[in-house]
Chain A
Amino acid sequence: MSDDAEKPVSRSRFEREKRARQEAEALLESKSRELFLANEELLSHQNSLEEIVEDRTAKLQAALEKAQAASEMRSRFLATMSHEIRTPLGGLIGMINLLRMEEDDSRKIELLDYATASGTALKRIVNDVLDFSKMEAGAFQFHKEAVDIRALTASVLAMAIANSTKDGLTFRQSISDTVPNLFSGDATRIRQVLSNLISNATRYSSEGLIEVRATAEHFDNGSLLRVEVEDQGVGIAPDEKQHLFKDFSQVQNKLTAAAQGTGLGLAISKRIIEGCGGTIGVESRFGKGSVFWFELPVEIVTGTSVEELPQIPEIKDIEALLKGAKVLLAEDNKINQKLIMTFLDRMGLDADLAENGRIAVEKFEPGKYDIILMDVAMPEMDGLQATRAIRDTWAADQIPPILALTAHVMETIEDESRSVGIDRVLNKPIGFQDLRMGIAEALRGRNRSYRRTAKPRDEEQATVLKLMSKDIAEGLVLAMDAREINALVSDFLDDGTRLLRAIRTGWKKKDFETVSADAHSLKGASGLLGFKDLSECASIVEDNADVLDAEDFAEVTDIIADQIKMIRSEVAS
């Protein structure tokens, strides 16, 4: 080969190689040009595409803005209209209520009862249409809160009994033990559906029993709640069943010859239940009666205290509860002032009027009132601002329950009210019974803690409190005596010991999922009682069950065990 490399190349071979190279170079150049041109074309194509995209985006953006503006306008219109319609309607119904109370002439009483019935029907229609519009506008929201279905059913039934004019009807509530004491759900919406079903049952039957039943079975991570409302009324023909839950549909029969309502009630109920992830349905025999039911998957709330929820008072207790209670009413509308002050007076309450939010703030002093009723829309200072001012000035335990009265229906009002510390929102127009029930519930719910704060007890305190975080300990002291607190903590300790054992066994078996779940329970329960260190350790186990090594795991669980031991020794002492 080295010889070959030394050898000179012939002229003809050299020329050929040169020519081949030139040809290759020419080819390369023409290909480069082709490539360049193709690139240019691509670039211009890309630019024009970008222009088109920009143009389309701008058009879409404009369309979107227009749609948003329109939707916003619709929402505002809805809010305004609901306010404008409900306020005078409330005045109207209220005044008729007052007249009825003062009237002795049975002929006029009959007329006034008709007027009340019409007014109430109109109120229901307005509410239905507003709910329906909200659903159509997509502005219908669901909240999560602790729901006590027993109390809720009792209260809805109490209202139904109070409003029922049919003597032949009897009402019964039967809630199975399988139903959890508290579960998380939207109490307002569940109440709405239940009210609707019970009101239908009342409307479509003239005599017999109306029974509300509730059962629950295990489902996923919680329970499947089933609620049934059974009546012995007119029933539903099979061919009418399919239209029952449709918008604006109504079953015609002799009992409702004078058509009442909008036919939206069941359609709204269906949307609510389905919005909460449940199902609704009916079984019926024509002429024999119907069972309307709904099923909701619910998460059980493992609260230790039912105290958080307003207790629903029995009708007979209400009078005693309200008698002499001191109320501050903040309301600017003259008609409403007259109406609600008269209502409060009839309820046996000792009412004081503030013409707007500012005056209410000035009038308020701890211990002076048992409850505050706050209109939302007022001049100078509205109800939300006034509530905030009171909450900012005084400590939580010095402030009685504050109920907002509003004719607004938009969800934002409820949210804002909650955020400033309003305990409950009552919707105007509010009738005598609704207001009475609302006040009674608030008074009953808060009464133990509030009244106790008014005259703090100096009896002995549970020593275990010092192991709890301050806010939780304070809350417990307000609601329970030492014996009750110790009992509560003992229950927790039994549960905690069991969970710790399960966590250790689970970890040995490498069943980290169960370990995490048990640690989660322990974290929740200890957090609820303010045992911070314990809760944090449980949280570490929950989050890291599968990554902790044996030594770390032993250390964390030992701390948990020590904490439990320490708490137990305090309870024992």
Chain B
Amino acid sequence: MKGVVFVELLSMAESAFGEATVDNVLDEADLDNGGAFTAVGNYPCDHLIKLVEGFSEKSGASPEALQQKFGFWMLDFFEKGYSDFFVGKENSFDMLEAIDTEIHVEVLKLYPEAELPSFTTERFGDSQFEMVYSSPRPLVEFCQGLIEACIERFKETATIERTAVPNQPNNTRFLITLTS
């Protein structure tokens, strides 16, 4: 997993819980890199899970809630750092569709070895949208956070119905229905 995700997670934690808490969690997590992350490096995904669990213990917030919050944080980060991807997108459906068709295409140009999740999408009329998240990593909640942030970013309101896909443990189906 790209180092930038870890650096941003730590950055969010620092702003939420302070430097001391972050240092504590990093020490206790006993990671093989000693908790030293750089944005240009690559690190195992379980480090991320361990850190989220650590922050959960310290703060009392559930790991799921933290992952969702991190989704919001990352959408903000993307918009500030990669605003080009937002040009020409009129609503959340446009944006979510572009993850697989545009954003990941660009990511793979720079990092051919990156292991990216896939997001297959389908529209049902103007107000309903299905997105199937497919990844071996347990980051469904992070995904949920990103989707919610995206809807908020476009000043929309919607209900998000999440279901597992039978016999496909790596897949999760999000059904998004606009309510405004």
Interface residues in chain A, defined as those with a beta carbon under 8 Å from any beta carbon in chain B: 4, 10, 12-13, 15-21, 23-24, 27-28
Contact A16 B40 (CB under 8 A): no
Chain B binding surface, main DSSP class: loop
Choose among B23, B27, B36 the residue that contacts A20 (Cβ–Cβ < 8 A): B36
Contact B34 A24 (CB under 8 A): no
CB closest residue in chain B, given A17: B36
CB distance from B100 to the nearest CB of A (A): 27
Contact A24 B38 (CB under 8 A): yes
Contact B34 A15 (CB under 8 A): yes
Contact B19 A21 (CB under 8 A): no
Contact A19 B40 (CB under 8 A): no
Q: Could you jot down 18 A-B contacts, CB within 8 Å?
A: A4-B19, A12-B23, A13-B23, A15-B34, A15-B36, A16-B23, A16-B26, A16-B34, A16-B36, A18-B36, A19-B36, A20-B36, A20-B37, A23-B33, A24-B40, A27-B40, A27-B41, A28-B40
Contact B19 A13 (CB under 8 A): yes
* Measured CA separation A19–B31 after assembly (Å): 13
CB closest residue in chain A, given B7: A20
CB closest residue in chain B, given A18: B36
CB distance from A399 to the nearest CB of B (A): 79
Contacts of B38 in A (CB 8 A): 20-21, 23-24, 27
Please report which residues of chain B, range 8-48, place their CB below 8 angstroms from some CB of chain A when the two chains form the complex: 19-20, 23, 26-27, 33-41
Additional A-B contacts beyond A16-B36, A20-B38 (20; CB < 8 A): A4-B19, A10-B20, A10-B23, A12-B26, A12-B27, A13-B19, A15-B34, A15-B36, A16-B23, A16-B26, A16-B34, A16-B35, A17-B36, A19-B36, A20-B37, A23-B38, A24-B39, A24-B41, A27-B38, A27-B41
Max count, chain B CB within 10 A of own CB: residue among A17, A20, A24: A20
* Measured CA separation A168–B27 after assembly (Å): 124
CB distance from A228 to the nearest CB of B (A): 66
CB closest residue in chain A, given B24: A12
* Measured CA separation A403–B23 after assembly (Å): 109
Max count, chain B CB within 10 A of own CB: residue among A4, A15, A16, A21: A16
Contacts of A17 in B (CB 8 A): 36
How many contacting A-B pairs (Cβ < 8 A)? 36
Contacts of B35 in A (CB 8 A): 16
Contacts of A18 in B (CB 8 A): 36
Contacts of A24 in B (CB 8 A): 38-41
Contacts of B19 in A (CB 8 A): 4, 13
Contacts of B34 in A (CB 8 A): 15-16, 19
CB distance from A27 to the nearest CB of B (A): 6
Contacts of A20 in B (CB 8 A): 36-38
CB distance from B56 to the nearest CB of A (A): 21
Please report which residues of chain B, range 41-96, place their CB below 8 angstroms from some CB of chain A when the two chains form the complex: 41
* Measured CA separation A4–B41 after assembly (Å): 28
Contacts of A12 in B (CB 8 A): 23, 26-27
CB closest residue in chain A, given B42: A27
Contact A23 B36 (CB under 8 A): yes
Contacts of A16 in B (CB 8 A): 23, 26, 34-36
Identify the 5 closest CB pairs spanning chains A and B, nearest first.
Answer: A19-B36, A20-B36, A24-B38, A20-B38, A16-B36
Contacts of B20 in A (CB 8 A): 10
Contacts of B26 in A (CB 8 A): 12, 16
CB distance from A6 to the nearest CB of B (A): 13
CB distance from B68 to the nearest CB of A (A): 27
CB distance from B152 to the nearest CB of A (A): 27
Contacts of A4 in B (CB 8 A): 19
CB closest residue in chain B, given A24: B38
Contacts of B27 in A (CB 8 A): 12
CB distance from B80 to the nearest CB of A (A): 19
CB closest residue in chain A, given B26: A16
CB closest residue in chain B, given A4: B19
Contacts of A15 in B (CB 8 A): 34, 36
* Measured CA separation A23–B41 after assembly (Å): 8
Contacts of B40 in A (CB 8 A): 24, 27-28
CB distance from B30 to the nearest CB of A (A): 12
* Measured CA separation A17–B36 after assembly (Å): 6
Contacts of A23 in B (CB 8 A): 33, 36, 38, 41
CB closest residue in chain B, given A13: B23
CB closest residue in chain B, given A11: B23
CB closest residue in chain B, given A10: B23
Contacts of B39 in A (CB 8 A): 24
* Measured CA separation A122–B83 after assembly (Å): 85
CB closest residue in chain B, given A19: B36
Contacts of A10 in B (CB 8 A): 20, 23
CB distance from A321 to the nearest CB of B (A): 86
* Measured CA separation A4–B40 after assembly (Å): 27
CB distance from A273 to the nearest CB of B (A): 59
* Measured CA separation A19–B26 after assembly (Å): 14
Max count, chain A CB within 10 A of own CB: residue among B23, B26, B36, B39: B36
Contacts of A28 in B (CB 8 A): 40
CB closest residue in chain B, given A25: B38
* Measured CA separation A219–B121 after assembly (Å): 62
